[in-house]
């Protein structure tokens, strides 16, 4: 096999055209382009799907436009609590972290959990102790400070609400809600699938809330027999639906195509319980689906046999 495929997302939600400036749209498109090209570079040079999804997600974690890594939103206490997970479809190995702070690239720490520990999921202070042993890159609070995120927190506290990621206060007032998660899925030339997801969670979140992003089977899943999935949406509903694994299940046990499985989960099962958002998916033949039931999803896809596609709206 010599073909490869990769897809990424930078969050889904109610993304309103009337409040999207040309400059902001260009910035998002450029950020998506840089991330997917970073992943594709790995794939077209014979690298692994795992490395490709990691590097694509790292690119978005380093960009303050996205609610992950540097652009992570603030909790009620004014901190960043980040979550991430990664999964290898070849052997079903996986790694995840949740509730971590001051880690520049949570997705790389999740990968270290998968590769260099006997565990799958580490949280909080224990995850940070592991990060120190792994010589992970830490950054101080100033690195993660983005004024837009501070404005969102201030606004959320005024109403004592817990908000999904909003790209700016004026957009929030205009009704935009964006599910701020980033993710990547890939198929490499060796026939292996991988998926990765990273997030800063919800603005003004309390009690150590964790969404679907770091949960294997809910926000992230990869299996060479079926597909690789990364989700973005209202995490509680995606957890309750076991969304990522559900797509794989429909393919494995009901023999649905990737497209039909994604449509069933995103446009039927999730909608029935009020689950808004979407997912990106690749099957073991290299087919790509970018499926969402919200007004938009920051997304991109590329393969060895197709041109680059970047989209925001439906």
Which residues form the catalytic set?
Answer: 181
Q: State the SS3 of the chain.
A: CCCCEEEEEEEEEECCHHHCCHHHHHHHHHHHHHHHHHHHHHHHCCCCHHHHHHHHHHHHHCCCCCCCHHHCCCCCCCCCCEEEEEEECCCCCEEEEEEECCECCHHHHHHHHHHHCCCCEEEHHHHHHHHHHCCCCECCHHHHCCHHHHHHHHHHHHHCCCECECCCHHHHHCCCEEECEEEEEEECCCCCEEEEEEECCCECCCCCCCCCCCCECCCEEECCCCEEEEEEECHHHHHHHCHHHHHHHHHHHCCCCHHHHHHHHHHHHHHHCCCCEEEEEEECCCCEEEEECCCEEEEEEEECCEEEEEEEEC
């Amino acid at each position: 096999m010599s073909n490869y495929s990769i897809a990424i997302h930078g969050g889904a939600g109610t993304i309103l055209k009337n409040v999207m400036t040309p400059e902001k749209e260009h910035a998002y498109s450029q950020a998506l382009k840089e991330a997917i090209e970073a992943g594709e570079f790995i794939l077209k040079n014979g690298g692994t799907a795992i490395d490709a999804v990691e590097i694509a997600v790292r690119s978005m974690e380093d960009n303050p436009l996205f609610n992950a890594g540097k652009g992570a939103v603030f909790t009620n206490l004014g901190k960043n609590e980040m979550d991430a997970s990664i999964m290898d479809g070849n052997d079903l190995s996986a790694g995840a972290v949740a509730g971590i702070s001051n880690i520049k690239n949570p997705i790389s720490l999740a990968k270290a959990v998968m590769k260099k520990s006997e565990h799958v999921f580490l949280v909080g202070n224990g995850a940070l102790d592991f990060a120190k042993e792994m010589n992970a890159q830490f950054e101080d609070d100033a690195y993660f400070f983005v004024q837009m995120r501070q404005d969102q927190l201030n606004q959320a506290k005024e109403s004592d609400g817990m908000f999904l990621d909003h790209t700016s206060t004026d957009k929030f007032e205009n009704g935009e809600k964006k599910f701020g998660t980033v993710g990547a899925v890939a198929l490499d030339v060796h026939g292996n699938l991988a998926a990765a997801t990273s997030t800063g969670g919800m603005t003004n979140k309390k009690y150590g809330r964790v969404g679907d992003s770091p949960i294997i089977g809910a926000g992230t899943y990869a299996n060479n027999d079926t597909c690789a999935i990364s989700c973005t949406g209202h995490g509680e509903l995606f957890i309750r639906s076991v969304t990522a694994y559900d797509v794989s299940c429909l393919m494995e046990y009901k023999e649905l195509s990737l497209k039909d499985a994604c449509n069933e989960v995103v446009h039927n099962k999730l909608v029935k319980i009020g689950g808004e958002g979407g997912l990106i998916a690749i099957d073991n033949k290299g087919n790509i689906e970018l499926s969402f039931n919200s007004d938009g999803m920051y997304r991109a896809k590329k393969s060895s046999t197709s041109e680059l596609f970047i989209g925001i709206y439906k």
